[in-house]
Amino acid sequence: MSTSEPQRANGLLTFDWPLRVYYEDTDAGGIVFYANYLKFFERARTEWLRACGIDQRALAESDGVLFVVKRTALEYSAPARLDDVIHVMSRIERIGRASVDFHQEAWRDGTLLACGDIKVASVSAGAIRPVGIPASVLEGLRRGPQKSVSGNASTMAMPAPFKSSCSEKPM
């Protein structure tokens, strides 16, 4: 499958990354272990960057810049189970000089499973101190996904309007 075309929700660019729930993702109760949503959200952000033409390994090697998660806030609404196909919808809320705020939601068949607000910081690889996001990366983030990525990204209509934050109800 190929990456979704950039979509707009509430006027903002979004990205869909589908994934399947494996046995390793579940807990003793047979549902997705809560911390695994952080992994799912990380994968979706990574694939978004890749689709924007941003290679994180090359960025670290050539510019000495890494992206690290500075803050997360997650809310869980419904469980996912083994073999479910989940769509992680990601949207950039704000791009700062040295950070990017994402809003992400995990959906299954029109049901919101979890949502998260994640702040990712740009830091120097050596000192792990904040540094400005390189201009080429800012350009890619603002432009959005432009190319296919290997893997399982697909085109999918928004399952429901994005919340503006995890503390709000869907519009």
Asked: is 7-143 a CATH 3.40.640.10 domain? The reply is no
Output DSSP code: residue 3.
P
What is the percent of the chain with per-residue pLDDT over 90, rounded to a whole number? 74
Strand order in the sheet with 65-76: 7-9, 12-20, 85-95, 99-108, 111-124, 65-76
The residue extents of the domains of the chain are 7-143
DSSP string for 81-123: BTT-EEEEEEEEEEE-SSEEEEEEEEEETTEEEEEEEEEEEEE
State pLDDT tens for residues 83-95: 999 999 999 999 9
* CA of residue 28 relative to chain centroid, distance: 26
Q: Which of 16, 25, 27, 55 is catalytic?
A: 27
Name which of 22, 37, 41, 19 is nearest 78 in CA terms: 37
The whole-angstrom separation of Cα 108 and Cα 141 is: 26
Name which of 87, 94, 48, 88 is nearest 71 in CA terms: 94
Q: Which of 26-35, 53-62, 132-141, 159-168 has the lowest mean pLDDT?
A: 159-168
Q: Is 27 one of the annotated active-site residues of the chain?
A: yes
State pLDDT tens for residues 8-40: 444 457 899 999 999 999 999 999 999 999 999
